[in-house]
Structure 1
């Protein structure tokens, strides 16, 4: 399945959508249209529209039935959502998520990671406000796993089973702040996630997925990444020995080598839109901008 979380102008409540062949369909509308057929509660179909409840807490109950209908060609126009008329949100619930970012390690080393700021997660096509002192934007491109089960001192097999799906992650970096205030301060202001959560069965193996960047009309494809020293599951199992991971949590893989350099070569500047496409995960776009100068953080003494 390919799941999105979107906000419509007609409702203040975020909605769940299913994506097929680049088209979005409102889950609530699909279910209303099937009401006459859904007579059995044994089918496990939930009427919950909350993304966290429906996707993570109850494992996407009933969404596979709706997706099977879309795959079979049952694509009602009445349930169609138009991207120009909605706001894309991260395919998670940031206020309930832990955000873990893995750092690249050499073969034989233990995984390294840091905790990110989930409240800084932005959706597809959102502007990214950088600290005003930054001279130019920088970005690290990753694939993120979203979890569907709790992991506490997990085995590798348990960690593998806990991965619900994957999405694209753009980790924005303020290099000026990195030099003066360290790695975490340089990354705690924003990251872009999405636009869709692609379930593990549909995403398949992503180790050799092609990654393409575009700024303006110029495109660059990254070299195929080498096999990681540790699998996603091995890294998750290690992290779970130190931090309890829960359904809905986000774990970013180590940044893909060459992504930051490619963005610079393409001329990524404030006001330019970066588009990143990953095989089977779709494409995500974001526009870095220089944020406004903040007020003083302490009272000026007279």
Structure 2
């Protein structure tokens, strides 16, 4: 099933999408609530049993659910190589990367819908996209094994982890992780596609073989498969749940696929081709079986708030 959250005539609702038709769920029912109650399939079947004339073209798609948290992994070796060359001039993968699937927490309150305009963040002149797949947790768990983790995945969605590369660089030098270079936007959607819809694309090693493509202003510039990720989602979830809880609605990103971001192109080509995103550019990210995100970049705010640190003015007390 494909679950959507949408806006129609000024009202936000949730529904199930089949063949381009939106079958509304009862008022006040959210996708997250159904995930938390493990009632997604039953509610979806009931909604699909009722006729509907509402189409996807008539609504504004919002993020399918409001995730309590978003963990974003860096799971594709090819992406690490390309971006490393772009940032440091060396096409290499740190040995620490191979040790375990690394992730950071990003902003769950910065989500945009599948076709929303995305503004350039303040102070950014090197805007980039990142093509990923997100796994959505359907059941609470802690200290899970990979085998147990599979039963905790309720579905998947397409995830664009937008990046302000010029804001990232000074943040990287501080060693605390990303902040304003990342927390301004992520696109989730277009639907929450339940796990059973892609299970037949699992290869013998447990990886989902789903084609991932990105086009910029109508031109195809990147293609990969989710099967090239270095850890399965089950392995990533097991690692994330070590000494910690994963909760219903949490999103775990795969990391950017090979050729899934401009920075990777810049590193491999040695020049900024294609150039950083500017207002008017349209980015289209597609993952087989999961759908397409299509966002246009628009101008953002012009003012930049940068509170400078005060230098120490007196000797500290012992």
Conservation of the 8 A alpha-carbon contact between 2:229 and 2:254: no
Partner residue of 2:153? Answer: 163
Q: Is the alpha carbon distance of 1:218 and 1:132 closer, same or farther for their aligned partners in structure 2, counting shifts above 3 Å? A: same
1:199 corresponds, among 171, 185, 194, to 194
- Number of residue equivalences: 270
Cα RMSD (Å): 2.7
1:96-136: CA deviations, max 9, x gaps?
Answer: x1110012376852110101110011111112222232224
Q: Could you tell me how far apart the structure 1 residues matched to 2:150 and 2:66 are?
A: 22
Contact 2:21 2:54 in 1 (8 A): yes
C-alpha deviation, 1:265, in angstroms: 5.3
Residue 18 of structure 2 is matched in structure 1 by: 20
Moved more, 279-288 or 49-58: 49-58
Kindly indicate whether the alpha-carbon contact (under 8 Å) linking 2:212 and 2:288 is maintained by their aligned counterparts in 1.
yes
Please give the per-residue CA displacement for 1:236-277, whole angstroms capped at 9, x wherever unaligned. 001101431100111101211111136975664322221111
- Among 178, 181, 186, the residue aligned to 1:184: 178
Aligned residue in 1 for 2:217? 216
Residue 103 in structure 1 maps to residue 74 in structure 2: yes
| Residues 1-302 of structure 1 mapped to structure 2, 5 A cutoff | 1-11=1-11, 14-28=12-26, 49-66=29-46, 69=49, 76=51, 79-94=52-67, 97-104=68-75, 108-182=98-172, 183-185=177-179, 186-204=181-199, 205=201, 207-224=208-225, 227-261=228-262, 268-294=277-303, 296=305
Q: Tell me the equivalent position of 1:37.
A: none
* 1:173 to partner: Cα distance: 0.4
Q: Secondary structure at the match of 2:162?
A: strand
List gaps (5 residues or longer) in structure 2: 78-96, 203-207, 267-271, 309-318
Structure 1's unaligned 5+ residue stretches are 29-46, 70-74
Distance in 1 (alpha carbons) for counterparts of 2:305 and 2:156 = 40
**Structure 1-normalised TM-score?**
0.80
Question: What is the alpha-carbon distance in structure 1 between the residues aligned to residue 302 and residue 105 of structure 2?
Answer: 26
Following the alignment from structure 2 to structure 1, what is the Cα–Cα distance between the partners of residues 152 and 31?
18
CA distance in structure 2 between the partners assigned to 1:279 and 1:295 by the alignment: 39
Equivalent residues of 2:76, 2:258 under 8 A apart: no
TM-score for both structures, normalised by structure 2? 0.76
Displacement after TM superposition at 1:193 (Å):
0.4
CA separation in 2, counterparts of 1:61 and 1:20?
A: 14
Mapped to 1, the partners of 2:227 and 2:153 lie a distance apart of: 22
